[in-house]
Structure 1
């Protein structure tokens, strides 16, 4: 063991290996890019994904689809409006597999993204009508995850036979 330690002690980096590279993050605002991951071990056909999602998402402008491997896909939109609408209407599925979408931000690397959370609309049934309020929705939703929205009118009441809450759920854990 000492012999290996002594040999390694004499190792040094060459000038070329010591060179440092400074990477400047662009100062432009974040681009309209989504990274998606399909929750399946089977390989997803990227051509089918692009063809179907272009029809389903009904984006006003075209978007590009790039394969990132391991059932991850990059969606490059021409406008932020199209990207935001796709995010707002999520969750999405393709061929019965959940598609988790992540909005890229400046300086973020794809390898660092954790695809463990996605928003779902939750319906709460059986509440007394006068308890179907935004405040009750926030309270119930907070027990499930991060509440993104409660479907309520301007007065704070939820009209209909159920209370709808959009909650960011941790999909790595079982539903309660």
Structure 2
């Protein structure tokens, strides 16, 4: 039987039947997030997918896709779901930080740089005279890039 399979081949007419005309697929990432798990460890994708879907509970449901290299794509059906995930909290999976990015028009999910994350930093035991927005900007720029100062305190 192995010899029969080894001699099996397609003639040119049969081979042409398997070639499709090249078409450009327009991917719509309007309400999509691309993310990655910040770890050197192996990430078990089915577990990640189930955990994030349970935590986020989007209105129209979710289908998280594995893009390999610890990257995943989350297409949502509503912008309110995307904003809810992004404005939520820092997201972790198995104690590893998830870095998420909303895909903009023309961005390719596999080429998006996923190595930065925003953090709130709280400074303790600062003298009252130094609790100013200018000082907060200096601390923020020292640690990375200053984004926002909470004046409610």
- Give the distance between the partners of 2:85 and 2:63, measured in 1 at CA: 14
Counterparts of residues 60-139 of structure 1 (less than 5 Å): 60-139=59-138
8 A Cα contact 1:25 1:106, kept in partner? no
Q: TM-score of the superposition, structure 1-length normalised?
A: 0.64
User: Which structure exhibits the higher relative contact order, with contacts defined as CA atoms closer than 8 Å and separated by 6 or more residues?
Assistant: 2
1:101-140 CA distance string (max 9 Å, x none): 1111111112322222111111111112353333322221
Deviation at 1:96, TM superposition (A): 1.0
**Aligned residue number for residue 147 of structure 2:** 148
8 A Cα contact 2:45 2:66, kept in partner: yes
CA RMSD of aligned residues (A): 2.5
The alignment of Structure 1 onto Structure 2 pairs a total of residues equal to 131
Structure 2 unaligned blocks of 5 or more: 1-21
CA distance in 1, matches of 2:26, 2:75: 19
Q: Secondary structure at the match of 2:126?
A: coil
- The 1:61–1:128 alpha-carbon spacing in structure 2 relative to 1, beyond 3 Å, is farther
Say whether residues 1:48 and 2:47 are aligned partners: yes
The Cα of 1:90 is off from its aligned counterpart by 4.0
Question: Aligned equivalents of 1:31 and 1:111: distance in 2?
Answer: 16
- Point out where structure 1 has 5 or more consecutive residues left out of the alignment: 1-20, 154-158, 160-176
